[in-house]
Structure 1
């Protein structure tokens, strides 16, 4: 690795982070790159606008859904040990697992939980429970409160519920609470020395909090909720780490399951299995899914990635096996995801010389929009789709199941749960882009903003897919 080249990348990321944060009211940002045996971490700005604490290179932050790759690694460890089998029904190990559709849970295999193909309709299910029985409480609530979106293996839909059930499954087969298992079998052998599993642990060291833009001034204001409930731990609610710790975890997967210290964390076969395609929806807005990892194609180069939203913050972990590179970032407002996308594309195109082809090259004008109009639902989300002026117009509404879940979701969303109507222009039948965006905006991570429709029968689409999440025609 050319040291000067890495220094150039460090200077570029430091400069770009400072400029973006200043222009977009992002209080703080921290990023790190490991490439071919060398690495750097840069930090900018403020970790908490209330206290004025600086964002440091070793400041901790909520991992958010990056945790899902850690949870998947824990599941594969138990497969390596012969405790779990991926193609065995979950109820074999977790008999109390049930949904409100009789017999539906019986069809879900362990593999479906970690490949986002389980169909559990629980993406916005937020039971409020703490402590050792939090995940047990979550699974118990599924039986009366949550159904299915599709048959297991039929579709791909990003699944918080699947990962939380996987976390409870791990508790049952190991006899350890998820937080203790995470610390014992991931943090310790990987060398994630500054990572923690609770706010009580995080308060003992430098830790960032999230912020939301004030609707009127756009200035960042601190979140009123640091973490989601303990029930969301395995999906990303509570684990906290640093950029250096995430780089160490990414390097472990680069090295076929061997940590930077030489400890075997995962078998080479299981590490490879996580990176292989487990399901491909064959739609530009939803990259192929591995186990835990999402496989973003940039031409012939694959970026293994997972991003993570927390209350007022966003993290990302990217592993590029073909180029021995790991990128980890955190910004403490939701808009920092745009900066993360810019940095990833710059590293690919300028630092690594990877051509980034245009994902969407043209649009079609004469697309029949009738099959896509209608109402789509998943859990507590309703999306009404209508045809207006040759475009699709979507109105999304959050319909809380109870006051507790409304409170949690509202705090998680920064107080704003109602979105204005959004227009979409057709790219081709079944694929639409938000109006007003240049097509090149979707070449990177923001391809998730595209919306697709699937399984058209009798002139009507059965599913709408936005952000990797399915809703089903009502």
Structure 2
């Protein structure tokens, strides 16, 4: 490949990061056809003014879900797990608040986000070796179901955490130890850990929240989520080089850059195949672990990851032998990551990205979508105001501990003003006031869809890949 081409990518990332004045620090890496670059810009921690360096560590957030899925497939290859067996056959204590519901969930449902576990904001605070055990024990009294397993797709933190506990049960190792043995070591992720105590021994970025009035960035008061959220993305920490190595492993049929096999070619391919498709533009088809983003004819295997005041992203583009990964230490960095990804696809690779949304409509009947929708500790009231849908989102914490953890994760802001939506077509809506090209890339997740209309009423609302269920007017 032409070295100058990747130098152009490096210069573009550096320029875009410098122009994003509301992001204290940004680090990104691109691997393409045998060449690799890493770019770092700004400050890793505004409290210390430590610089963001090419080897600065950061929380992976939900990018971890692809690592957890890789672990599950490794145990399938070893004969310790079967994707099509019920989870309770390995983990008899697994239960939900709906009697018998857990019995119908297969191992496959956990890693394809089709399990229906209603636990998206369930944050039990437990530490150490028994953290995942405590999480699973708490599900029975606190969390029900959104749908029957395999019926719908809803991004599932709970499913991945149950998968992490399942891995512990069948291997006898803790999730952090298993991750270190079966992913970090063979993939060559030499600076990765799951421990703040380890991370503090080297350069590590912390998240920040922007003051809404001054736009000044303040460091997060909570570095990471509780240990109970490890397999969903709470605790793993590493570098851009580590995520590039992991992404390259999935490009190369499961063989790491050092030549060590992490996963079989068959398992690697299975993760990339469509496991479920909601057939709506705001919810890309799901593989196992990977989300399959269609950018025109180009498929990007991706996962982004929120951490307290930060966001990471990992994108693998098999047909172009490319990996892109990045971290920014404010939540708004997802917009910069989306812009860079689209630039790499169009300008560097020459891919065509068609407009996802070309027009809005005023003739769509809004009445099927009105009502109250709920999921774990979240209520969304949908009404019609001035010919548009209006949504009011309310966080309803289950107890003081849940409220404390989620409030810290969100930087203190757990409520938002009402949001108006304009119709794109029946069942699909865009937030009002956004240019339509906003939704061409990763930020298509801002669109809202409604599903399974029966007797003139939608049963589900999907926002950000997550379902809420209609519960009344």
The Cα shift of 1:125 comes to 0.1
Which of the residues 100, 104, 107 maps onto 1:103? 100
Aligned partners of 2:166 and 2:63: how far apart in 1?
Answer: 19
The equivalences for 1:392-407 within 5 A come to: 392-407=389-404
Q: Is 1:7 equivalent to 2:4 in the alignment?
A: no
Deviation digits for residues 103-159 of structure 1 (CA, Å, limit 9, x no counterpart): 000000000000000000000000000000000000000011000000000000000
Deviation digits for residues 33-74 of structure 1 (CA, Å, limit 9, x no counterpart): 000000000000000000010000000000000000000000
Which of the residues 142, 147, 150 maps onto 1:150? 147
Aligned partners of 2:361 and 2:419: how far apart in 1?
Answer: 19
Deviation digits for residues 275-328 of structure 1 (CA, Å, limit 9, x no counterpart): 000000000000000000000001111000000000000000000000000000
Residues 310 and 327 of structure 2 are in contact (CA less than 8 Å); yes or no, is this contact kept in structure 1? yes
Partner of 1:288: 285
Aligned partners of 1:365 and 1:400: how far apart in 2?
Answer: 36
Q: Is 1:238 equivalent to 2:235 in the alignment?
A: yes
Q: Is 1:459 equivalent to 2:456 in the alignment?
A: yes
Residues 361 and 422 of structure 2 are in contact (CA less than 8 Å); yes or no, is this contact kept in structure 1? no
Aligned partners of 2:382 and 2:447: how far apart in 1?
Answer: 15
- SS of the equivalent of 1:69 reads helix
The Cα shift of 1:215 comes to 2.3
Which of the residues 182, 196, 199 maps onto 1:199? 196
Which of the residues 50, 54, 58 maps onto 1:53? 50
Which runs of 5 or more structure 2 residues have no equivalent in the other structure? Answer: none
- SS of the equivalent of 1:129 reads coil
Aligned partners of 2:361 and 2:12: how far apart in 1?
Answer: 38
Deviation digits for residues 17-36 of structure 1 (CA, Å, limit 9, x no counterpart): 1112x2xx210000000000
The equivalences for 1:374-385 within 5 A come to: 374-385=371-382
- SS of the equivalent of 2:412 reads coil
TM-score normalized with structure 2 length: 0.99
- SS of the equivalent of 2:355 reads coil
Which of the residues 328, 350, 354 maps onto 1:353? 350
Aligned partners of 2:203 and 2:74: how far apart in 1?
Answer: 31
Partner of 1:180: 177
Which of the residues 421, 424, 427 maps onto 2:424? 427
Which of the residues 91, 95, 117 maps onto 1:120? 117
Moved more, 214-223 or 374-383: 214-223
Aligned partners of 2:28 and 2:8: how far apart in 1?
Answer: 15
The Cα shift of 1:333 comes to 0.2
The equivalences for 1:134-283 within 5 A come to: 134-283=131-280
- SS of the equivalent of 1:417 reads coil
Aligned partners of 2:432 and 2:187: how far apart in 1?
Answer: 44
Aligned partners of 1:429 and 1:88: how far apart in 2?
Answer: 38
Aligned partners of 2:263 and 2:203: how far apart in 1?
Answer: 30
Residues 113 and 154 of structure 2 are in contact (CA less than 8 Å); yes or no, is this contact kept in structure 1? yes
The Cα shift of 1:365 comes to 1.4
Deviation digits for residues 83-112 of structure 1 (CA, Å, limit 9, x no counterpart): 100000000000000001000000000000
Moved more, 341-350 or 194-203: 194-203
Deviation digits for residues 386-418 of structure 1 (CA, Å, limit 9, x no counterpart): 000110000000000000000000000000000
The Cα shift of 1:444 comes to 0.1
Residues 382 and 390 of structure 2 are in contact (CA less than 8 Å); yes or no, is this contact kept in structure 1? yes
Q: Is 1:362 equivalent to 2:396 in the alignment?
A: no
- SS of the equivalent of 2:129 reads coil
Structure 1: which 4+ aligned runs deviate by more than 2 Å?
Answer: none
Partner of 2:446: 449
The Cα shift of 1:206 comes to 0.3
Aligned partners of 2:332 and 2:216: how far apart in 1?
Answer: 12
Aligned partners of 2:82 and 2:200: how far apart in 1?
Answer: 38
Partner of 1:326: 323
- SS of the equivalent of 1:462 reads strand
Aligned partners of 2:197 and 2:276: how far apart in 1?
Answer: 38
Deviation digits for residues 206-247 of structure 1 (CA, Å, limit 9, x no counterpart): 000000001221110000000000000000000001000000
The Cα shift of 1:363 comes to 2.0
- SS of the equivalent of 1:147 reads coil
Partner of 1:85: 82
Aligned partners of 2:107 and 2:66: how far apart in 1?
Answer: 15
- SS of the equivalent of 2:256 reads coil
- SS of the equivalent of 1:44 reads strand
Residues 276 and 286 of structure 2 are in contact (CA less than 8 Å); yes or no, is this contact kept in structure 1? yes
The alignment yields a C-alpha RMSD, in angstroms, of 0.5
The number of residues matched between the two structures is: 471
